[in-house]
Amino acid sequence: MLANDIRPPALAWRLYSVWHRHMRVYTRNLVSNGLPPFLEPVIFLLGIGLGLGRYITAMDSLPYLVFLATALPVTSAMFTASYECTFATFVRLEFQKAYDGMVAAPVTINDLFVGEILWAGSKGLFFSACVVLVMSFFGAIPMPMGLFAVPIGFLTGAMFGALALLVTSFVQNINHFNFYFTGFLSPMFFFSGTVFPLGSLPRALRPFAEILPLTHAIRLTRSLAIARLSPVLVADLAFLIAVTLAAGWFAIRRLRRRIVV
């Protein structure tokens, strides 16, 4: 067979191979990795929802438990995707040197990190589905409309995976990720409509809340769950896709320099 007759695998197969590698590693410790998605929403619901729910009966014309529960699927997707594409990616990049071996296969650097984003989206989907399942047992999330949170969880995971890869492309010390989580993700959790509506913010701060990526994911999830449809949801969906594409493009461009020296 001539060298010119050898063709690389199809794009879908290359992306799947990267995704499958991460899935195999993740499922080696399935119990320890898979149990938290079920326990965390229960703990949060009991600690915050049921506690404050005794004093706050309604929020934004919704029972407070429903208001809270319709945001938690995508916040879970945000955190799990961010951890995956910061700490885990950095370990694979700097300590394990896993990517050096992967690019020796018929896989390009673009394939590596697009597969990484798809894996982050898959984890976002899984965590969102777990939260929806748990919340449905408590009657805290409307069904079946609450199931829309699952595909939105995938989009949210992919978006925050791409953003996390962009952050990783700048980080030289693994401890620096603490600034990203403490200074960006944690404040965004509170100021994107998770625990109180954006209308409660001072008018001057509301435009800044609209810049936060989580705001659009929560509005999509909550509005679809309670069948409160409006044209702004199309803009929210477009925002998620645009941020994913833009952040992913810049992240892959920068990470390429970390691998190809």
Tell me what pLDDT residue 237 has. Answer: 97
Task: Write out pLDDT tens, residues 178-187.
Answer: 999 999 999 9
Q: Which two tokens stand for residue 25?
A: 């590693």
Alpha-carbon gap, residue 92 to 6, rounded angstroms:
29
Decide if 256 contacts 249 (C-beta within 8 A).
no
Per-residue pLDDT of the chain (261 residues; tens, 9 = 90+): 455 556 778 889 999 999 999 999 998 888 888 788 778 777 877 777 667 767 777 888 888 889 989 999 999 999 999 999 999 999 999 998 889 888 888 889 999 999 999 999 999 999 999 999 988 988 889 999 999 999 999 999 999 999 999 999 999 999 999 999 999 999 999 999 998 899 888 899 899 999 999 999 999 999 999 999 999 999 999 999 999 999 999 999 999 998 876
Q: Residue 59: beta bridge partners?
A: 62
Cβ-based burial of 126 (10 A; exposed 0-12, middle 13-18, buried ≥19):
buried
Tens-place pLDDT, residues 114-127 = 999 999 999 999 99
Proportion of the chain above pLDDT 70, given as a percent:
96
Whether a cis peptide bond, with omega within 30° of 0, leads into 144 is yes
pLDDT the model gives residue 1 = 46
Task: Give me the pLDDT at residue 47, please.
Answer: 77
| Residue among 167, 89, 166, 99 at smallest CA distance from 123 | 89
pLDDT at 90: 96
pLDDT at 5: 55
124-157 pLDDT, tens digit per residue, is 999 999 999 988 988 889 999 999 999 999 999 9
Smallest CA-to-CA distance from 156 within 194, 182, 183 is with 194
Q: What is the reported pLDDT for 174? A: 95
Contact yes or no for 78/156 (Cβ under 8 A): yes
